[in-house]
Amino acid sequence: MAKTAFIFPGQGAQYIGMAQDFYETYEESKEIFDKAKEILNIDIAEICFTENEQLNITEYTQAAILTVCIAILRKVESMGVKADVTAGLSLGEYPALVASKVLTFEDALKVVRQRGILMQEAVPVGLGAMAAVLGLDEKLTSKICEETPGIVTVANYNCPGQIVISGEAKAVEEAGIRIKEAGAKRVLPLNVSGPFHSPMLEGAGKELGKVLDSVTIHRPVIPYVDNTNAQFVTEGEGIKNLLVDQVSSSVMWQQSVEQMIANGVDTFIEIGPGKTLTSFVKKISKECITINIEKISDLEKLQEVPKC
């Protein structure tokens, strides 16, 4: 039986104007932005829709992307389109948790606001770095990271031929040189504020655990696939620990998509800004239907998806 997955993008997908058409057109979408302002006492709509520097600052970015994803999700759900499974890349795991009813939007927003602050403050600016590796085998990339002095590790397994490394700035630079010498097509330094998904953020993960203690984590109504182990999660027990580990662990996105496909998912609907995950899925499997919903005009694509 064919299955549908809702997938949600992570930090880096943001841009000025994202979901503004949903906000201005659909009451269920506007309500999410209004609720975010009420909960955080921050005007997320203003951050998303007007030229500003805050949108690219981690402590605001994460709350903004979560709000946008759920604002669009509410409209998709109102059309009768339902998911059999959810997943998200890094921060995107939180809208997936809302879609799966593990967290309420209110609780998820409180958590990601603190998650953004903790990740922003975990490592002084300049001490950490990240870089994208294009066109080199993942095992060889990982081996080079292990052999490089200092802290450097694989942060993201995105899709075949695209991996991200993260850690101490000098170690990332040195590993990048070695990776290029080993035959990578390109090694691209990323414009990020910290060494996300590296052991340097273990402390931030532990602090996030205290934040998660203040919210209620429910048993998933819809199964989701976890970032850290690419396995289906169907019980509430253990979710907190997975979210704590996620901050400093590798994001197993390629493996997560492969797991969903192996379990019958043939349609992936990316909900939120951009279409990065859609492009990743296409590189992982050319057989699947891939749809991204970031503009009102994209809603027409949902006619291809069976209603439940």
Catalytic residue set: 90, 197
Q: Quick check: helix, strand or coil at residue 302?
A: helix
CB atoms within 10 A of CB 19: 29
Count of C-beta atoms within a 10 Å radius of residue 239: 21
Give the side-chain half-sphere CA count within 13 A for 56.
Answer: 8
Place of tokens 């976890």: 226
**Separation CA 103–CA 215 (nearest Å):** 8
User: With helix as H, strand as E and coil as C, how does 73-141 read?
Assistant: HHHHHHCCCCCCEEEECHHHHHHHHHHCCCCCHHHHHHHHHHHHHHHHHHCCCCCEEEEEEECCCHHHH
Per DSSP, the three-state class of 262 is helix
